[in-house]
Amino acid sequence: MKLLKSTATVGSATILSRILGFVRDVVLARIFGASGETDAFFLAFRIPNFMRRLFAEGSFSLAFVPVLSEYKTRGDHEALRDLIDHVTGTLAAILLVFTAVGIFAAPLVLSIFAPGWLAQERPEFYLSVDMLRITFPYILLISLTALAGGILNTFERFLIPALTPVLLNISMISAALLLAGRLSEPVTALAWGVLVAGVAQLLLQVPALMRLGLVPRPRWGWKHSGVRRIIKLMIPTLFGSSVAQVNLLVDSIIATFLVSGSVSWLYYSDRLLEFPLGVFGIALATVILPSLSQKHAAASTAEFSDTLDWAMRLAVVITIPAAVGLAVLAEPILITLFHYDAFDIEDVRMSAVSLLAYSVGLPAFIAVKVLAPGYYARQDTKTPVKIAIVAMGSNMALNVLFVVMLLNNEFEGPHAGLALASSVAAYLNALLLYRGLRKRRVYIPGPGWTRLWIAVITACAVMGAILIFWSRDSAVWLHPDVYMRVRNLALTISFGVLVFIFTGTVMGLKKHHLLRGAN
């Protein structure tokens, strides 16, 4: 029950962040639409955002938290502080150099991530270079924020780190509304919003660290034993922790060879996918990693397996109906949130096809978030990296295959092939992670899974059929009144949730099926 409450805390804070994220995207869609300029910003933002998830929330956090948890379990407060001080100093020094190089070499960096724009000498390339120089320091700021968040999560202070993304949304909304009209190139206001948000997110962590008496005193510590262990663990997790992000970035690279708007269409559909992924997947991963690390340090193998089993059950019950809902209601959701002013109905249609393809992979994306900590908590980083390489290679091959197939068949939205490839690769990743944990008997599923699957699949089928019938009238969603659109969407989603709960309960889904191992 303790883990369930912690997950609810993180999930609630993440819901607030995602709601503000939707407000942010609605503002961006209304002011900027889906154009070459927005493509330029989204790529300039995606590069530091990708590196944030790869280094900060990805490899660094997954290496740092298990080692920090081990120091905490020993009970030596001075050794714990010493580790934090040396990790902070080393990380900050490396990132300062990395950030300086990134700003100076922005054209080279962007040529790697947008070769299509460079080859065609499109104006988006040069605009994106200017914005990348503004957004690149975000990597330094958010990585230090992730370090602080890792400390707080280890001490079960989940709320502040979970609320941190709210500041990014507030900053970008403010920049769009208050600054864009004052600049010769309005879209660059968003880049400045990202930079300001990085400073604010880091400062938000400081009071909570002060209350724990763990505000870092940065010291260079390349030879510190704890730092070296973290670095050793980080190297393979650079691949293993962020396969989904690498796949999304590859999508963006290929999208630069497609028609203008493709990067933006993928961005908006990915943003909608990020809502359940962030609220449930990242919340679960955030909560179970410290718990699994401590259970591994205490050699509690049965409790370790029970915790993974609980997380997987919760993931199945939440993410499969969420995926069905996203697929069925793709166009209604996009119309309600984004179809205003510059974001026209063609943008809705093109974003909807990629959202449908992404939604297919939602259960797999979240399963990876749940299963990967089963390796990292045991400080096994080699196995996930091997699996990640297989999944990433498959994704790249499928990207080419699906896009070429769609282009040859003159499909209107070939960018959807990129989203579908990411989904298929995510299932391969999740399956291999699951098989590895079972093979090592680290994870032994508890009783009741057959009934759970039958109940969830039946409930999803009934819910999906009813939602298709309910939402078939497109005129309802194109109502000119924003309030009516939002009301209709809220009623439809609420009705779908009630149908799923009722059908699942009738089919034997009980509360106790989800509580085993939730401590």
Q: Are the C-beta atoms of 149 and 161 separated by less than 8 Å?
A: yes
Radius of gyration of the chain (CA): 22
Look at residue 517 in the predicted model and tell me its pLDDT: 47
Amino acid sitting at position 341: D
pLDDT of residue 4 exceeding 60, the answer is no
Distant-in-sequence, close-in-space partners of 308: CB < 8 Å, separation ≥ 6: 288, 292, 370, 371, 374, 437, 442, 443, 517
Compute the mean pLDDT over every residue in the chain, rounded to the nearest whole number.
83
Residue ranges per structural domain of the chain: 2-515
234, two tokens? 């980080």
Most confident of the ranges 95-109, 238-252, 404-418, 503-517:
95-109
pLDDT at 345: 81
Banded model confidence at residue 518, pLDDT cuts 50, 70, 90: very low
Per-residue pLDDT band for 424 (boundaries 50, 70, 90) equals: very high
Tell me: pLDDT of 461 over 60: yes
Are 507 and 459 a contacting pair, CB within 8 Å? Answer: yes
Q: Indicate the pLDDT class of residue 519, thresholds 50, 70 and 90.
A: low
Give the C-alpha separation, 161 to 60, whole Å.
15
Question: Which sign does the torsion angle of CA 453, 2, 161, 387 carry?
Answer: negative
| Predicted local confidence at residue 320, as pLDDT | 94
Picking from 466, 415, 377, the residue whose alpha carbon sits closest to that of residue 116 is: 415
Q: How many of the other CB atoms lie within 10 Å of CB of 379?
A: 17
240 has a pLDDT exceeding 60: no
Tokens linked to 40: 């330029």
Please report how the helices 243-255 and 36-51 are oriented relative to each other, as an axis angle in degrees rounded to 10: 160
* pLDDT, tens only, 61-83: 777 877 888 888 777 778 888 88
Checking if the pLDDT of 384 tops 50, the result is: yes
pLDDT in tens, 251-275: 777 877 887 778 778 888 887 887 7
Kindly state the average pLDDT of the residues 347-360.
90
Highest mean pLDDT out of 241-245, 286-290, 312-316: 312-316
